[in-house]
Amino acid sequence: MNNKNSTPNPLSIAIDRQIRFEEIDITGVMWHGHYPSLFEEARVAFGDIYGLSYEKFIEYRIAAPIVKLSIEYKMPLKFQDEVTIIATLYWSESLKFNFSYYILKNQKIATIANTTQVLTDMNGNLIFIPPNWIKNFLEQWKRGKLKNQYTLHNIIS
């Protein structure tokens, strides 16, 4: 991003993992209710890389509940499948986190998902003004100081 007023490029990370036995159902495929855990693993990695770790949220007594989740299942995942989970955060002018997720199996898209998270205090009250540590993250992102860890163009194009 070059222009100070333009929207920053999305930030992405990727993690690799194997589908565990405990995640499959009686038909031998990953049970649909376990997919959000994969997204969570990717969000944790994202937070650790970009300074939005759960430790910070706990330290500052802020929650980031998911208020929207959508999942498209394109290909089943099975026991011991090796997958790559890509989490991408998109810029928002409002104080919310809009993530997309791609789960890749053999370099093919197996799952596409999206979440929206808002910020609240520990009593569930919405936060509209970012605390300084989140404000610093947003300012660095807007200025192009944060480097993207993963690019999807080779997979999706």
Q: Is residue 2 part of a domain?
A: no
Model pTM above 0.85: yes
pLDDT at 46: 97
Q: In CATH, what number is assigned to the domain containing residue 126?
A: 3.10.129.10
Spans of the chain, pLDDT less than 50: 1-2, 157
Answer whether residue 141 is part of any domain.
Answer: yes
Q: Is residue 4 included in any domain, yes or no?
A: no
User: Quick check: is 26 in a domain?
Assistant: yes
Q: Is residue 81 part of a domain?
A: yes
Residue 47 class from Cβ within 10 Å (0-12 exposed, 13-18 middle, 19+ buried)?
A: buried
User: What's the structural domain count of the chain?
Assistant: 1
pLDDT of residue 88: 97
- Give me the domain span that covers residue 118: 11-145
The residues, ordered by sequence, that sit 6+ positions from 157 with a Cβ below 8 Å of its Cβ are none
The answer to whether residue 1 sits within a structural domain is no
Q: Tell me whether residue 108 is in a domain.
A: yes
3-state secondary structure of 2: coil
